Chain A
Amino acid sequence: MRQARVERWSSGASYLHRRHPAVKIALALLFLISLASVSSQRVPWFFVTSAALIVCCIVAARLPLLPLLLSAAAVLPFAVLFALVAILAGDNARASLLIVRAYLSALTVLLLAATAPVSDLMAGLEFLRAPRFLLSVMQFLYRYLIVLTGEAAAMRDASLSRAGSLRVLELRQATGAAAILFARAWARAQAVHQAMLSRGFDGMLPRLHQPRFNAADIRFAFIGAAIVIAVRLAA
């Protein structure tokens, strides 16, 4: 599964992995803004430099280059569709801009996710003052994603093994399956909540470890921001 792979990547211990998640989020946003603010195709080498920057980060984080590049290509079908339309309209510059920008942006977010585990990303977002309630919901969602997806897969297997090799389930079966999954998810949530209450849950998830800023993080923030801004200004 995709999220299992990203999780494995994010558990590394390189220099980039050890930086404060808030700094990484802020730098990724700055980089995305610098990509998004290029509105003409006059500066192909800006994109080459940006791509080189990302590749350098991937290598520095000791992440597998090819799988990451392929994984970010998931955005391409959508981008290529609109690029084809632009080409048919005779706007080749816009088409290439669309594809390059969408791909590099996807790669940037993938790099962010591959260098910070979800719990760290949440801590970073909290540092940037995102609502803690929303972050708690996101953490719960991520935790139970795997559990419920597994349950849905088991239900599908069970149904297929009884109903033969139907590609799609009959409507009645499918709606029943969805409703049962819903009711089970609800019951599980109640049980989880009771278990949490009995352990002293006060309405918010506790913070286990809070990433702390150190001198290296501040250096990384300034140098990273300087590089991104310099590349953008030179374009």
Chain B
Amino acid sequence: MHIPDGFLSTRVWATMDAVAIPAVALLSRRAQRSLDTSRLPLMGVMGAFIFAAQMINFPVGNGTSSHLVGGALLSFTLGPAAAAMVMTSILAIQALVFQDGGLLALGANVFNMAIAGVFAGYLPYLLLRGRKSGIFLGATLSLLVSAFFALMELALSGVRMPPTMLLISIALFTVSAVAEGAITVAVVGALRNIEPNLLRQTASAPVLTRRLRLVLAGASAALVMTAIYVASTKPDGIDEITRLTAARATSLLSSPLSSRLSSPLANYQVSFLSSHSSNWLTHAFAGLAGIFAVYLVCLVLSRLLRASRSALKPEGI
């Protein structure tokens, strides 16, 4: 499910990076604030555990085996914000050291697996108060949601997938999602026997549970509706949606950013070079300007947050 570089179109990876970078910055702050410092080594070591656990093969029916993916398990034990941080670290290490997943596509991968996947996994666990069904549903949903986003991003990038291949990959993802659910239930069960206090208590869930529940329920409802819509319209319908969403995404991405930031550059380039090459130029500069804008916004936000936090500090103490 790790998307390498070269697959996503500039619009898609730039948008996903623009979504993922502030989200990771925010979650990092939240994980840092809401947890005591003992969680820092804990998070790192649990990330290493996910790597190591992938060496253990679980038999899943007729001769095939599967391994733990772990996003849901982490959210049950560390909480969603910390789990998202750990998954982000795993994906970054995989992209940098193991060449598993691309660097420009890291934003997309982080969004699919570390943000959407982890929160989709935590919701059923929270709603069903840590029952077995909640654990199973959470782990299954976490993988399905990640796969759904990955397939959508590939489709939006114009990577061709004939209906049969799409169906096969959906079937494969469903099988591995169910396997992940079964493995997670079994591991959590074994964990309860060994050390029951490692699991996050759902009764003492944080105060914002209610608001979080509403947001997550809304998000998953929207997701399910989109999925049903995509599934119910025929393959040519998928093309149509792709075109529509891509057009909307482009207008969203390019109108506020590139009109302000890259237009002087673009004008310069157009007057400077022959007209046929201006197409990719605007693309490249829109991508660059987008990343630069996100970078600036993050810098300003972090500066502001730091300022407001230091202003609030006397109250906190």
Using CB atoms and an 8 Å cutoff, list the residues of chain A in contact with chain B: 2-3, 6, 28-29, 32-39, 71-72, 74-75, 78-79, 82, 85-86, 88-89, 91, 94, 98, 100-106, 108-110, 112-113, 118, 121, 129, 131, 133-134, 136-145, 147-149, 151-153, 155-156, 168-172, 174-183, 185-186, 188-190, 192-193, 196, 201-204, 232-233, 235
Q: Who on chain B is nearest to A204 by CB? A: B40
List of B residues within 8 angstroms of A110 by Cβ: 99
17 A/B residue pairs, CB under 8 Å, sorted by A: A36-B104, A37-B284, A71-B99, A85-B162, A100-B6, A109-B5, A113-B97, A141-B43, A141-B48, A152-B56, A169-B57, A170-B59, A175-B183, A178-B53, A179-B191, A186-B195, A192-B45
User: Is there a chain A Cβ closer than 8 Å to B241's Cβ?
Assistant: no
Interface size class of B (residues with CB under 8 A): 35 or more
A102, A104, A144: which has the most chain B beta carbons within 10 Å? A144
CA distance A91 to B161 in the complex (A): 12
List of B residues within 8 angstroms of A145 by Cβ: 48, 51-52, 93
A168 touches B57 (CB 8 A): yes
B82-90, B120-128, B129-137, B138-146: which lies at the interface: B82-90
Q: Who on chain A is nearest to B65 by CB? A: A168
Taking a contact as CB atoms closer than 8 A, the residue among B5, B56, B90 that contacts A102 in the complex is B5
CA distance A121 to B103 in the complex (A): 13
Taking a contact as CB atoms closer than 8 A, the residue among B92, B161, B194 that contacts A180 in the complex is B194
Taking the closest CB of chain B, its distance from the CB of A178, in whole angstroms, is 5
B28-36, B202-210, B214-222, B226-234: which lies at the interface: B28-36
B4 touches A79 (CB 8 A): yes
Using CB atoms and an 8 Å cutoff, list the residues of chain B in contact with chain A: 4-10, 13, 24-25, 28-29, 31-32, 37-38, 40-49, 51-53, 55-59, 65, 68, 73, 77, 85-86, 88-90, 92-93, 95-100, 102-104, 159-162, 165, 183, 186-187, 189-191, 193-195, 198, 273, 280, 283-284, 287-288, 291, 295, 298-299, 302
List of A residues within 8 angstroms of B25 by Cβ: 131
CA distance A26 to B48 in the complex (A): 27
Q: Who on chain A is nearest to B47 by CB? A: A141
A147 touches B48 (CB 8 A): yes
Is chain A's binding surface mostly helix, strand, loop or mixed?
helix
List of B residues within 8 angstroms of A180 by Cβ: 190, 194
CA distance A218 to B222 in the complex (A): 48
Taking a contact as CB atoms closer than 8 A, the residue among A35, A86, A181 that contacts B49 in the complex is A181
B32 touches A174 (CB 8 A): no
A156 touches B55 (CB 8 A): yes
CA distance A170 to B97 in the complex (A): 32
List of A residues within 8 angstroms of B191 by Cβ: 179, 182-183
CA distance A201 to B41 in the complex (A): 11
List of B residues within 8 angstroms of A131 by Cβ: 24-25, 28-29, 32
A152 touches B59 (CB 8 A): no
Taking the closest CB of chain A, its distance from the CB of B219, in whole angstroms, is 23
List of A residues within 8 angstroms of B53 by Cβ: 152, 178, 181-182
Given A37-B287, A174-B59: A137 in contact with B86 (beta carbons within 8 A):
yes
A168 touches B24 (CB 8 A): no
B283 touches A39 (CB 8 A): yes
CA distance A136 to B92 in the complex (A): 13
B45 touches A140 (CB 8 A): yes
A183 touches B194 (CB 8 A): yes
A101 touches B5 (CB 8 A): yes
B189 touches A232 (CB 8 A): no
List of A residues within 8 angstroms of B57 by Cβ: 168-169, 174
CA distance A136 to B189 in the complex (A): 31
Given A33-B284, A38-B280, A109-B103: A78 in contact with B5 (beta carbons within 8 A):
no
